[in-house]
Each structure stands twice: as structure tokens, then as C-alpha cells.
């Protein structure tokens, strides 16, 4: 009998400990975890999601920032350590799946569909349609150079490329599908020189005239800061990196109010809008939560 009592007490204590392990909000709701990578746009979207969920439901959202890369975020979602995140469709081409599972394409819809199906099945999560912006490689030049020579796309840049110096981050020089070698093959020209460097030095270089062309990410605030023009990728060389919210299926199935918020955010933030938000945070050094709150008010999402 003593052994039975001891076992019963132990089981009871374990149940209590297990119950204590499930976090609840101050209002009795759940506490969800949003995992954000090092770049600024996932962090901003994390704050937008946090504020909307906490304003419209009894739940709370914690944000874990500066996760090194997308694979760690997805693994954490698969392990139920994160519930939400912001990810990019082009990630589907970055060695997550066997070659016979994924077909490389620069078509946005095909890329998004593959990401939704493959990642959704692998990590038991829902990959929503794009929030509305892209964070992908692009070619940028000074507005002055573009206007003087009527350069609007990457093909037209080829008429001047032999006289221009390109600055890029180090990885783009070496990338297989969407790197410099592939760019030369697709567009049929090379620059006078192509230099890999730190991104900060790249933007300093085009600002002071040492560089003429840079590989910018489409939401980089330096595009606005240094009056750069993103050229149209008229040959569809760069794979699309459309940003989408993702959520564990278990969470959105159990909490339809959260699912409704995520659905409402589809197509709601343009590339220009996200670039401006990042500029406020990174260049103007404003508080990220405040910037997100002002954007929510501007959009009227809590009215």
C-alpha cells in the first residue's frame, strides 16, 4: 500500500508540474512564441503579430529575435518551440529537399506553391500567401545614373556595364543558381569589376562613388537613404523571396481568432511600406514596437 500511495503522489506531482509547464497569459489565454531571424523585417512582423493578437484575443505573444537562419526557425516550429514566424518562398531552393522533390523556378506563384506544400508537410505548419513584400536580391544603381541614361531594367544596364564597378556581398559571387556567374549567363554581360564585401561597405562604396552598381535586398533602407533605383529584373533571373507568415497547424486549428488575424495580414504590407518601416528602425534608430504600433494605427487594423 505504501508503494501504491507513493506512486500515486508522484503521479499527482508530475501532473502538476506538467500543468505548470503550459504558459498562460494574464487573461487566461495562451502564450505563443514568434521566432524571428536576424534581419529587421521578421522582427517588425513579429511585433505587428504580437500587438494584433494581444489586442484582439486573450492570448499573448513572445518574440525570440536574432535566430541565425531560416532552417533553425523551421526546426523550432517542427519541435513546437516556436508557433509563428516570417519566412520566404525562395528558401525552398536552399537545399532543404532532394532535387527530385523541388523544381527550381523564378516564377513567384510556382515558388510559393512549392514552399507551402513542401515546408507545410515537413514541419506540420501552414505557410500563408505572401504578406505583400519581397526581400530578395536585386540590382540597384544611383537614380542620377538611371535618369541620365534612361536605364530602367537589367538588360538596359548591359549597355554600360563594361564601364561600371559592381559591389556585392561575398556570398553572391559564389552562389550557384542566382549568383554572379548565373547573372552573366542570363543577361550576357559582365561588369568592369565585381567586388565582394561587407554589406555596409557596399553601400558606403556606392554612396561615395567608388561603386556604380550594388546587389541590394529589395527592402534595404539604404535604397531610400542613398537615392538608389532598383532595376527591373526583366529576364526573371532572381528567384522570388516573397515573405509569408507561417503558423503551426495545431495552433491555428485550435484558435480560429488567431487564424483570422493571419489571414487578414495576407497582402497587407507592400515592399515600399516595409522598406520605410525598416528605415525607421535601422536608420532612424526608433523603437521597433512603437514603429509597429504606428503602422497598425495608420492601417486602421484595430478600429
> Of 202, 230, 258, which marks where a domain is finished?
230
Q: Does 128 lie in the same domain as 265?
A: yes
Instruction: Indicate if 119 and 260 belong to the same structural domain.
Output: yes
In this structure, the answer to whether residues 118 and 257 fall within a common structural domain is: yes
Same domain, 130 and 246: yes
Residues 290 and 246 in one domain: yes
For the chain, first and last CA: distance in Å?
62
Q: Domain tally for the chain?
A: 2
Residue 65's domain is classified under what CATH number? Answer: 3.40.190.10
Dihedral angle, C-alpha 148, 211, 90, 264, nearest 10 °: -60
Question: 115 with 247, same domain?
Answer: yes
Whether residue 8 lies inside any domain: the answer is: no
CA–CA distances in Å: residue 187 to residues 126, 147, 159, 200, 230: 36, 21, 11, 27, 16
Look at strands 125-127 and 243-248 and give their pairing. antiparallel
Q: Are residues 166 and 104 both part of a single domain?
A: no
In a domain, 3, yes or no: no
CA distances from 284 to 118, 201, 246 (A): 38, 19, 29
Same domain, 41 and 109: yes
Residues across the chain? 303
**In a domain? residue 21:** no
Q: What is the DSSP letter of 60?
A: E
Residue 211 belongs to domain spanning: 137-230
pLDDT at 20: 38
Q: Is residue 20 part of a domain?
A: no
Do both 99 and 148 map to the same domain? no
CATH number at residue 176: 3.40.190.120
In a domain, 26, yes or no: no
Residue 200 lies in a domain: yes
Residues 126, 248: one domain?
Answer: yes
Q: Is 17 inside any structural domain? A: no
- Domain's final residue, options 230, 249, 269: 230
25 domain residue, yes or no = no
Domain identity same for 37 and 124 = yes
Choose the final residue of a domain: 230, 265, 290. Answer: 230
Same domain? For 63 and 205 the reply is: no
What's the whole-model pTM score? Answer: 0.84
According to DSSP, residue 282 is labeled: I
Q: What is the pLDDT of residue 5?
A: 35
Cell of 59: 492570448
User: For position 281, what pLDDT does the model report?
Assistant: 96
The secondary element (H helix, E strand) that includes residue 165 is: strand 165-169
pLDDT in tens, the chain (303 residues): 333 334 433 443 333 333 334 566 666 789 999 999 999 999 999 999 999 999 999 999 999 999 998 999 999 999 999 999 999 999 999 889 998 999 999 999 999 999 999 999 999 999 999 999 999 999 999 999 999 999 999 999 999 999 999 999 888 988 877 899 999 999 999 999 999 999 889 999 999 999 999 999 999 999 999 999 999 999 999 999 999 999 999 999 999 999 999 999 999 999 999 999 999 999 999 999 999 999 999 999 998
Amino acid at each position: 500500500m505504501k508503494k501504491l500511495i507513493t506512486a500515486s503522489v508522484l503521479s499527482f506531482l508530475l501532473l502538476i508540474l506538467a500543468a505548470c509547464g503550459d504558459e498562460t497569459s494574464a487573461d487566461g489565454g495562451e502564450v505563443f512564441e514568434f521566432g524571428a531571424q536576424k534581419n529587421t523585417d521578421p522582427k517588425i512582423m513579429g511585433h505587428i503579430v504580437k500587438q494584433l493578437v494581444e489586442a484582439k484575443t486573450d492570448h499573448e505573444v513572445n518574440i525570440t529575435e536574432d535566430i541565425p537562419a531560416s532552417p533553425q526557425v523551421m526546426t523550432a516550429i517542427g519541435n513546437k518551440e516556436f508557433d509563428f514566424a516570417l519566412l520566404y518562398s525562395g528558401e525552398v531552393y536552399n537545399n532543404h529537399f532532394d532535387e527530385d522533390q523541388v523544381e527550381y523556378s523564378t516564377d513567384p506563384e510556382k515558388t510559393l506553391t512549392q514552399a507551402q506544400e513542401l515546408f507545410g508537410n515537413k514541419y506540420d505548419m501552414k505557410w500563408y500567401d505572401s504578406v505583400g513584400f519581397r526581400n530578395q536580391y536585386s540590382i540597384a544603381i544611383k537614380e542620377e545614373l538611371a535618369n541620365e541614361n534612361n536605364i530602367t531594367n537589367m538588360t538596359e544596364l548591359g549597355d554600360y556595364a563594361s564601364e561600371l564597378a559592381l559591389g556585392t556581398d561575398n556570398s553572391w559571387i559564389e552562389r550557384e543558381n542566382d549568383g554572379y556567374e548565373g547573372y552573366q549567363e542570363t543577361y550576357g554581360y559582365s561588369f568592369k569589376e565585381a567586388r565582394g564585401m561587407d554589406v555596409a561597405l557596399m553601400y558606403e562604396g556606392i554612396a561615395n562613388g567608388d561603386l556604380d552598381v550594388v546587389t541590394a535586398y529589395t527592402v534595404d533602407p539604404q535604397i531610400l537613404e542613398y537615392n538608389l533605383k532598383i532595376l527591373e529584373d526583366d529576364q526573371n533571373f532572381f528567384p522570388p523571396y516573397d515573405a509569408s507568415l507561417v503558423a503551426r497547424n495545431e495552433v491555428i486549428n485550435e484558435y480560429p481568432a488567431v487564424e483570422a488575424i493571419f489571414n487578414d495580414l495576407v497582402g497587407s504590407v507592400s515592399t515600399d511600406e516595409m522598406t520605410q518601416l525598416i528605415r525607421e528602425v535601422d536608420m532612424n534608430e526608433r523603437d521597433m514596437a512603437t514603429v509597429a504600433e504606428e503602422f497598425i494605427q495608420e492601417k486602421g487594423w484595430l478600429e
